[in-house]
Structure 1
């Protein structure tokens, strides 16, 4: 069936009219509907991890480098001349005061001893005879005085020879160890010549130089710790504090005495001396969380009770393997351990405990 042209035009107009009505009804319906309620605004605060830390009393230490010195070093000298006959102790031997170290040859001293002894015998006989003559009236009293003087002179000569012979036996003047045998067997030493060196290492003295700005923190009787390479830490006590500074370095000599009864610790080695000066409240922190503020001060960031970041300038009290003990934080502090580089002082943040953050990261890793 063929549709007339006029009718076809009216059909097209009718379809267009229906489309316009449909579009218009959609717009009107949309304008009439109320807008959906806007969702809550997203939280723009930065999340950081915090660790609650409680201050602990920590000793403030004065750490100094020094060296260990023996209690006494003595050069043993011969009191009489002669050739070394024999040594009675090896090098390195431990000796007590008065122990025999070496002997010198007697030489002519043996004949001098016999001669002196003979003179004493003659003088004693002469004194007995003179006393008898004086008592019998054959000699004046003055002869008895003369005989007595001769006996005393002979006895003095004998004592001098015996003393000289005793000096050929060289003995240790102090307890310690024979560090060096200077004159060996066969060597000739004159009176006053060096024979041996004895070192007494009990106690040892750690000697350090204390800067002038710290000398008021050190006094005799303070406890100290001495760290000796390969021997560890030994407890000691300050026994000497100089009252006159070195003009060149402006430092004061301080000595710390440490016991060494077994003579195990060596003298002459370097040592690190720690002298506790006072106890201060401090927190243990990782060096990684320490930063600078806008003024260039070194410090640590925390989160206060209102959820705001606070920057605290700090002072390092002591360094250990586990971290740094620092002063300048509150007694109890929520220290930012993760994210401190992304927040500023005064900024509001979301504080999450380290443990919670670690658990969340672990769960995400498992997924």
Structure 2
């Protein structure tokens, strides 16, 4: 009987000990199962942000000339080829000038003869030995022959076709031995620097755009490079059919990487704010027109409403709602609520 009583007490104590151990393990398990949501974050910091109007355009040459022959003749020599750089007045091709030089010689001989007649009649007219009518006729023949000689010399000069502008020979349209006639296209010369982009902007942007404003261009054919240009000219009138006005932008590239015909994505910068607060664009949550961010403090997040300003690439201007140095969540918003615990795995 006594043994049975002792066995019962031992069993109760054993069960109590096991129950207490389970309770303690439950407390430890509850502590170990706090959930930390992994997120990426960035900081509110001072920076520069700009406002711009975005559009697209095809680059064009600021100057381009169709070179034409001014006289007829057979091409005896080509001095340049496509891709060659030429300056104003550089010879491009030579026409056969044999006939024109002979005409110069004949015109000079006739002029010499008429010069003698003119000098003799002038002296006689001053002595009243010939009438004014005779003297005027001789003078007219003499002046006419001078013009004939000048024209003959000009035709000789025209047999050398020269570049009307400085630039690159972008197209050759003739070959040696071809016969050309006046006003026939023989070359195209194109300026490569600067190039221009013609923009057609909506009329509500007219008051924002000014001559000299900075323009940023990204060109598809030249990735990972942003080129800088400026507004050169602004049309003073709005096209009534489209509601747009014309803006000419000049783009300079000393390395000559950009070419006419390239497609460009253009940003006309009309305002710049320096030393303003910016956060990564990914941090902004837009919910029904209200903007907010999750701010991290001691591994806990709190959602704060913010007022945003300009958006510039990957950065957004914050006008109020944050302080410099605040850490904001950029990736992982969807799993967050106020007071959610987070673990920052990467901070920008």
TM range (shorter): 0.7 to 0.9
Match of 1:221 among 205, 208, 212: 212
Asked if the contact 1:47/1:339 (under 8 Å) is kept, the reply is no
The unaligned stretches of length 5 or more in structure 1 are: 1-11, 27-38, 359-367
Could you say which residue in structure 2 is the equivalent of 1:284?
279
Aligned to 1:164: 155
Q: Name the CA shift for 1:235/1:50 in 2 (closer, same or farther; >3 Å).
A: closer
Q: Distance in 1 between matches of 2:331 and 2:118?
A: 106
Matched length: 320
Does 2:96 correspond to 1:108? no
Answering whether residue 312 of structure 2 is matched by residue 318 of structure 1, we say yes
Cα distance change on mapping 1:124 and 1:330 into 2, 3 Å: same
Report if the CA contact (8 A) 1:309-1:343 is conserved: no
TM-score (norm. length: structure 2)? 0.73
Quote the residue 1:192 is aligned against.
183
Q: State the Cα distance separating 1:63 from its structure 2 match.
A: 3.4
Q: Deviations over 1:190-236 (max 9, x none)?
A: 21111111101221113344345545432221112223333722221
Distance across 2 between alignment mates of 1:162 and 1:54 = 76
1:124-145 deviations in Å (ceiling 9; x for gaps) = 1223333455577754565444
CA radius of gyration, larger in: 1
Alignment partners' CA distance in 2, 1:338 and 1:141: 102
Deviations 1:23-48 (A, max 9, x none): 9xx9xxxxxxxxxxxx9xx9999767
Change in CA separation of 1:253 and 1:313 when aligned onto 2, cut-off 3 Å: farther
Compute the displacement of 1:173 (Å).
0.9
Aligned residue among 232, 236, 242 for 2:229: 236
State how 1:23-34 maps to structure 2 within 5 Å. none
Q: CA deviation at 1:268?
A: 1.1
TM-score by structure 1 length? 0.69
Describe the SS at the equivalent of 2:89: coil
Measured after TM superposition, the shift of residue 111 of structure 1 is 3.1
- 1:66 pairs with 2:57: yes
Q: Which residue of 2 aligns with 1:34?
A: none
Q: 1:151 aligns with which of 142, 155, 158?
A: 142
Residue-by-residue CA offset, 1:146-177 (whole Å, 9 max, x unaligned):
43332222212111211122222211111111
Higher relative contact order (CA 8 A, sep 6+): 2
Cα separation, partners in 2 of 1:135 and 1:268, compared to 1, 3 Å: closer
SS in 1 for 2:170: strand
Number of the residue aligned with 1:362: none
3-state DSSP of counterpart to 1:150: helix
Return 204-213 or 151-160, whichever deviates more: 204-213
Superposed CA RMSD in Å reads 4.2
Q: Does the aligned pair in 2 maintain the 1:300–1:314 contact within 8 Å?
A: no
CA, structure 1 residues 207+339, in 2 after alignment: closer, same or farther (shift >3 Å)?
closer
Aligned residue for 1:91?
A: 82
Q: CA deviation at 1:76?
A: 0.9
Name whichever of 150-159 and 332-341 sits farther off: 332-341
Given the alignment of the two structures, is residue 55 of structure 1 paired with residue 32 of structure 2, yes or no? Answer: no
**Any conservation in 2 of the 1:314–1:326 contact (CA below 8 Å)?**
no
What's the counterpart of residue 270 of structure 1? 263
- Is the deviation greater in 159-168 or in 332-341? 332-341
Aligned residues of 2:88 and 2:166 also touching (Cα < 8 A): yes
Could you give the per-residue CA deviations for residues 254-311 of structure 1, whole angstroms, max 9, x where no partner exists? Answer: 3321224564431111122233333454433373x55565x48564222689x77224
Q: Displacement of 1:70 after TM fit?
A: 0.7
Which segments of 5 or more consecutive residues in structure 2 lack a partner in the other structure?
13-26
Q: Could you tell me how far apart the structure 2 residues matched to 1:334 and 1:195 are?
A: 66
Equivalent-residue separation in structure 2 for 1:144 and 1:236 (angstroms): 66
